[in-house]
Amino acid sequence: MKFLRKLFLVFAVVYLLPALASAGLWYLKERPQSWHDADWSSSGILADAAASPQAAIYVFSATTGGMKGAVASHAWIVTKDEGASTYNRYEKVGWGKPIRRNAYPADGRWYSNEPRIVVAVRGEEAKRLIPKIEKAIEAYPYSSPGAYRLWPGPNSNTFVAHVLRSVPELDAVLPPDAVGRDYLPEGKLFHVDADGRDLHATLYGLAGVSAGWRSGLELHFMGLVAGFDVARPGVKIPALGRFGI
C-alpha cells in the first residue's frame, strides 16, 4: 500500500498538477465560443512564398479549441518546393477529407490560437527532404474516412509524428502537449526511428517511453508527456509544454 501511495503521489505531482494548472489557465483565457467564432487567418509568421525561391519545410503546432485546448495542441506540416509561389499545408482532422491539403493558410491560427514553429528546414536540405515527406504522407495508414480517434489516437498529432519518425533528418519531435503523438501506427508497441537515434515503446499510446537524441527521455501516460532533453537542454511538462533552449 505504501508503494501504491507513493506511486499515486508521483503521478499527481508529475502529471496531474501540471494538467490542472494548464486547465486553470485555459479557463481564464479569452477564447472563441465556437468553430464559427474562431480566427483561422494567417498569423503572418511565414513570408510570402514567392519572396524566396528556396525550398522550405515547416512543422507547426498550436493550442487546439474547445475543452481539449486545456491540455492539447494540433500539429501540421508545411512544404514549399524550390521556386514555388505557394506553400502546401498537410494535416489530419476528424472531419471532412482524411488528410487535408491547404484547407487553411499555411501559418494560419488554429481556433484563434497563434501557431509556433516546431522545426524549420530551408534550402537544399529541404529540397532533398520534401519527396521523403510526401512519401511518408502517402504511406500513413490512417488516411481513410473515419480513421480518426481523438484519444489516445490516431489523431492529427499521430499523423505528424508518423512523418517526423519516417523522416528523422527533420531532427524534431512534437511538443509534450501534442496528445496522440505517441500512438504508433498499426498497433505497434515498439519502434526505432529510421536512423536508429530514437526508440519508442508504447501500450497503444496510453503509457510508454521514448528515448534518444531527439526525444531525450520521455515518459508518457494517458497522452500526457513528462521528460527532459539532453541535446537541447530543457524539461517537458505535461500539458504545459517544453521549457528550455
Span 225-234, pLDDT tens digits? 999 998 889 9
pTM of this structure: 0.94
Percent of the chain at pLDDT exceeding 70: 98
Q: Where are the domains of the chain?
A: 1-244
Which residues make beta-bridge pairs with 121?
57
Span 187-214, pLDDT tens digits? 899 999 989 999 999 999 999 999 999 9
DSSP 17: H
239 touches 71 (CB < 8 A): yes
Span 160-174, pLDDT tens digits? 999 999 999 999 999
Span 36-74, pLDDT tens digits? 899 999 999 999 999 989 999 999 999 999 888 999 999
Residue 142 confidence class, pLDDT cut points 50, 70, 90: very high
Distance of CA 13 to the CA centre of its chain: 24
Residue 95 corresponds to which cell in the numbers above?
A: 472531419
- Cα Rg of the chain (Å, integer): 18
